[in-house]
Amino acid sequence: MIKQEFKAESKRLLEMMINSIYTQREIFLRELISNASDAIDKIYYKALTDDSLVFNQADYFVKVTADKENRILTISDTGIGMTREELENNLGVIAKSGSLAFKKENESKDGHNIIGQFGVGFYAAFMVADKVTVTSRALGSDEAFKWESEGADGYSIEPSEKAAVGTEIVLHIKANTEEDQYDEFLEEYRLRSIIKKYSDFIRYPIKMDVVGQRPKAGSETAEGEAPELESYVEEQTVNSMVPIWRKNKSELKAEDYEQFYQEKRYGFDKPLKHIHISADGAVVYQAILYIPENTPFDYYTKEYEKGLELYSNGVLIMNKCADLLPDYFSFVKGMVDSEDLSLNISREMLQHDRQLTLIAKNIKNKIKGQLQSLLKDERDKYETFYKAFGRQLKFGVYSDYGMNKELLQDLLLFHSSKEKKQVTLDEYVSRMPEDQKFIYYATGTSIERIEKLPQTELVLDKGYEILYFTDDIDEFAIKTIMSYKEKQFKNVSSGDLGIESDADDASKDAEESGSQVLFEQMQTLLSGKVTKVKASKRLKSHPVCLTSEGELSIEMEKILAAMPN
C-alpha cells in the first residue's frame, strides 16, 4: 500500500476548506447525502439509455447509521459507485467534480437533478471526522476499493470487499474538546433533524435505524402489571422525498398548504392566502409563498428579518434569502426552488446573478397580483391583511424616492367619511362629483378626532368625501403619490381648498367690516405661533380653525419636529 501525498496547494486548499468555507458543521451531512443522491441519479440516467439496466425504485436508497460506542457514522448508498480511478480523481483531487462532468456528458437528457458541481462538498466530512473511509464498488465491476484519509496529510487507496454496487462512507467522529462538541453527530434525533432540514426533498429514501421498545411477545401479564419490554430496531425513512411544491396544484388542498406552513414554522398563525408558482419561462423555478394573517410580534422592529427559503434542486441552500423580497412585501413567507441558480462554492450563498433578479421580479409581480385579486374578490380577507401589513405598503410607497408608488398605490386603503369604512383611491375617485377638483383628506390621531375638526365642515358640506389619515405615514405616502388619476390630493386644513367662494374672498368682507383691526391685534398676541390671522368662509359651526400654507401640513410639521435628527 503506497501512501500518496496531496500536492502542497491541495493541502492548503483542503485546510482552508475544512475550516472556513462552511459556517455550520452540520452541513457535512447535507453534502454526503447529496453525493449519494447524485450517485443514484447516475444509475437512473444510465438506465434510461441502457436496456440491460433496470431501475427498480425500491433498490435505491441512502442509509445513515450511527454507532455511538465506536464513534462511527456511516452513510451508504446503492448508487453508481466509484472505480479505483474515480476514487483517485474525484476524492483525491480537490475541486474535481465527477458529477459536473457527468452532467455535461448527459446534458441532452431531460430533467437532470444532479446536485454536485464544485468538487468540494465531500471534504466537509473532515469538519466532524478525523478519519474518513470510503469503500466503493462501481456499477459493472466485481472489485471494490477503499479510499482512506485523515485529512490534509493525504490518502491511500487499496483493494477491498463490498457485496453490492454502491458506496459506503465511514466517518470516525472527532472526540469532544473543550471548545467543540461532536457527540451530537452520533445522536439519532439530531441526525434526523439535520436530514429533515437540508435533505428532506432528496428524491430517494434516506433511511435510519430507529430503536424502539415494545412489550415482549408471548409475555402475558396479570392486569395492572407492567409488561416485559424488549428493544427492537426498525428501519424508517426520514425524508419526505416529494416536495409539496413539485406536486400538481390540483392534487393539493388548502390544508396541505397550511400544514406545510406550520411544519416549516413560517408562522404560528394560519396563512391568510397561499401562492403556488411553477414558472417555466425565462427562468425555471417553483415557489410556495404565504401571506400571513397576523403581524409577527417583531415585524415593525429592526429585529425582523425578511426573506424566503431558497432551495437548489430540492436541497436547502439558504434559510432567509432577503434578495428575493422587496421591503414592502417583507411580510411574505415561503420558499423558492430553482435548478438555475449560480451557487457559490459553499452552497450557502448565491452569486448575485441574473437568475435571482429575474425570480425576485417575477415573485414581486405574483404577490402584487394575489393582493389585487384578494382586494377584488375577497375584500374581508384583504382588510384583515391590510390591518396587519398595510402600514408596510405605505412605507413602500414613501421609501425609495417613490419608485414603487405605481405598483403599490392601488393596494392602499383609507377610512372614508362617506362609507365609514376603508376605501381604495380608485373607489374614491370613481364617485367624485364632476365639480370636485381634489382628493380631500384630513389627518388626526383617530377617526373620532378627525370628525370633530372644523376644517372638514366646508368640504363635507359640499358633499365631497374625505379620506381620514390616522397613521403618521399616511400623509407622507400621499405626498409621494402626488396625484391619482390626475387628481391631486388636498389636506382640508390647507389654505386653498379649491372650492369656490374660498377663504381668501372672505378677507375682503372682513376688511370692509372693519374686523381687520381685531385680526391684527390677535396676530401680535400670537406672534411666533401663527403667521397670519384672517377671516374664513369655510367655518360653519366652529368659530376658528388652523390652516397651513405651502407643502407641509400642520401634522407633517409635528411629525418632522418630533423626529430625531
Annotated binding site: 31, 35, 77, 82, 90, 96-98, 117-122, 167, 347
Binding segment for Mg ion among 111-119, 201-209, 228-236, 439-447 (CB under 5 A)?
A: 111-119
Cell readout for 183 is 457527540
Closest distance between ligand ADP and the C-beta of residue 8, in Å?
Answer: 20
117 interface partner picked from ligand ADP, Mg ion, none, CB below 5 to 8 A per type: ligand ADP
Considering the rule CB under 5 A, would residue 35 count as an interface residue with Mg ion? Answer: yes
What does 98 bind: Mg ion, ligand ADP, none (CB cut-off 5 to 8 Å by kind)?
A: ligand ADP
Q: Which stretch binds ligand ADP (CB under 6 A): 29-37, 232-240, 370-378, 516-524?
A: 29-37
Q: Please, what is the minimum distance in Å from the beta carbon of residue 357 to ligand ADP?
A: 25
Is 120 a binding residue for ligand ADP by CB under 6 A? The answer is: yes
Mode of pairing for the β-strands spanning 206-215 and 229-237 = antiparallel
- 87-125 burial string, b = 16+ CB within 10 Å, else e? bbbbbbebeebbbeebbeebeeeeebbbbbbbbbbbbbb
Q: Which residues of 38-165 form beta strands (DSSP E)?
A: 62-67, 72-77, 129-137, 144-149, 155-160
Q: Which does 553 bind (CB under 5 to 8 A by kind): Mg ion, ligand ADP, none?
A: none
From candidates 79, 81, 92, 116, binder to Mg ion by CB under 5 A: 116
92 binds ligand ADP (CB under 6 A): no
Does residue 334 bind ligand ADP (CB under 6 A)? no
Helices and strands (H and E) in the chain: how many: 17, 19
86 vs 68: CA distance, rounded Å:
31
Give, for 491, the enclosing helix (H) or strand (E).
strand 487-491
List the one residue from 79, 92, 121, 396 that touches Mg ion (CB under 5 A): 121
Residue 14 Cβ vs Mg ion, minimum distance, rounded to whole Å? 15
User: Closest Cα partner for 334 from 265, 384, 388?
Assistant: 265
- The four Cα atoms 87, 88, 91, 96 give a dihedral, to 10 degrees, of -120
Q: Compute CA 543 distance to the chain's CA centroid, rounded to the nearest angstrom.
A: 55
In the list 6, 17, 60, 79, the residue contacting ligand ADP (rule: CB under 6 A) is 79
Backbone angles phi, psi at 439, to 5 degrees: -95, 115
Mark the binding-site residues for ATP, compressed into ranges: 31, 35, 77, 82, 90, 96-98, 117-122, 167, 347
Structural Rg of the chain based on CA atoms:
34
Q: Interface with ligand ADP includes 116 (CB under 6 A)?
A: yes
Q: Residue 244 CB, nearest distance to ligand ADP (Å)? A: 26
User: Does residue 97 touch ligand ADP according to CB under 6 A?
Assistant: yes
Taking the least distance from each CB to Mg ion, the nearer of 121 and 243 is: 121
Q: What b/e readout covers 253-275, taking b as 16+ CB neighbours within 10 angstroms?
A: eeeebeebbeeeebbeeebbbbb
C-beta of 78 vs 422, nearer to ligand ADP: 78
Binding site for ligand ADP (CB under 6 A): 31, 35-36, 39, 77, 79-82, 90-91, 97-100, 116-122, 167
Binding site for Mg ion (CB under 5 A): 35, 116, 121
